[in-house]
Amino acid sequence: MKPNQLILKPSIRQSLKHKFILFLIYSILIITAIAVLHPVLWVILGSFNPGDTISATSYIPNNLTLVHYINLFTETNYFIWYKNTLFIAVMNMILSTLLIVSAAYAFSRFRFPGRKQGLMVMLILQMFPSFMGMIAIYILLLQLNLLDNLWGLILVYAGGSIPFGTWLVKGFFDGLPRSLEEAAKIDGASHTTIFVRVMMPLSVPMFTFIAVSNFIGPWMDFIFARLVILSDRNKTLAVGLFEMITGRANNQFTTFAAGAVLVAVPITILFLVLQKYIIEGLKAGANKG
């Protein structure tokens, strides 16, 4: 019996250690999930709460109502804010993705004067927070007559996304074998044909990740939109919702909660539909950067 006991003891210890590690991991995951989901559920349930406060006597309100969702479209300019924000996000997604992908391909596949200096400049620009240049950007937009203009926001968002996006996509392109391009060149393909028919099909996950990231940025931005947008007709969702709950007279917290719930709908749909490509893009950027 003694030899068997000596054999079993290490296995029992390993089993207990493994169970303890699993218990610790699942405990951390459960606590994290509760910490993340509790505020989200609180806001969702608060949007159905009667009155102007999202605080209720019970976690689930007794009298659920849709009146706040109706008020968003009947008593506020929520539809205009939504349309403006969607236009900015979609146009920025298209423009910034084109700029980032074309710049990354040029830096990855071509050698030209100033290439290293350009890459170094973009790397340095990433080290500074974007709000440091807000005064300069404001003056520049004022001189170009782009203040209180949706295209002013789009151009700034697209330009600001180039440094990080270019480095990320360039690292992905560097990891793709050059033999594919050489074979296409032998067949008489031009650089444009190689990019469209060879590189782009191989880079769909990375392109999707860049496009979704550049959609989410303007969709959730408040500080820069607050600085540039001056009129009611050009307000974005973040600016319009913020004004619902600021000031002594503005206490529409339940309407704000309803608006916040609808803000999350497009982003949630994007992640659910494109989740596979987003994860592949993240892995590709990490492995091939």
pLDDT at residue 206 greater than cutoff 60: yes
pLDDT digits (tens, 9 = 90+) for 65-78: 888 888 888 888 89
Q: What is the pTM of this model?
A: 0.81
Domain residue spans of the chain: 72-288
Return the pLDDT at 126.
76
pLDDT digits (tens, 9 = 90+) for 155-181: 999 988 888 888 888 888 888 888 888
pLDDT at residue 285 greater than cutoff 90: no
Q: Which of 199, 194, 175, 201 is nearest to 283 (CA)?
A: 175
Q: Which CATH number is correct for 72-288, 3.40.190.170, 1.10.3720.10, 3.40.50.300, 3.40.718.10?
A: 1.10.3720.10
Question: Quick check: 218 and 160 in contact, CB under 8 A?
Answer: no
Provide, rounded to the nearest whole percent, the portion of the chain with pLDDT above 90: 15
The rounded distance, in Å, linking the Cα atoms of 101 and 89 is 18
The rounded distance, in Å, linking the Cα atoms of 71 and 106 is 50
Q: How distant, in Å, are the alpha carbons of 77, 181, 218, 236, 259 from that of 222?
A: 17, 43, 8, 8, 15
Q: What is the mean pLDDT of residues 196-200?
A: 83
Question: Quick check: 266 and 86 in contact, CB under 8 A?
Answer: yes
Burial of residue 120, with CB atoms counted within 10 A of its CB: 0-12 exposed, 13-18 middle, 19 or more buried: exposed
Dihedrals φ, ψ of 77, to 5°?
-95, 35
Q: What is the DSSP letter of 195?
A: I
Helix (H) or strand (E) holding 132: none
pLDDT digits (tens, 9 = 90+) for 238-278: 888 888 887 655 677 888 888 888 888 888 888 888 777 77
> Residue 32 — very low, low, confident or very high, per pLDDT cuts 50/70/90?
very high
Return the pLDDT at 10.
65
Tell me the longest C-alpha to C-alpha distance in the chain. Answer: 90
> Residue 281 — very low, low, confident or very high, per pLDDT cuts 50/70/90?
low
pLDDT digits (tens, 9 = 90+) for 175-185: 888 888 888 88
**In angstroms, what is the C-alpha Rg of the chain?**
26
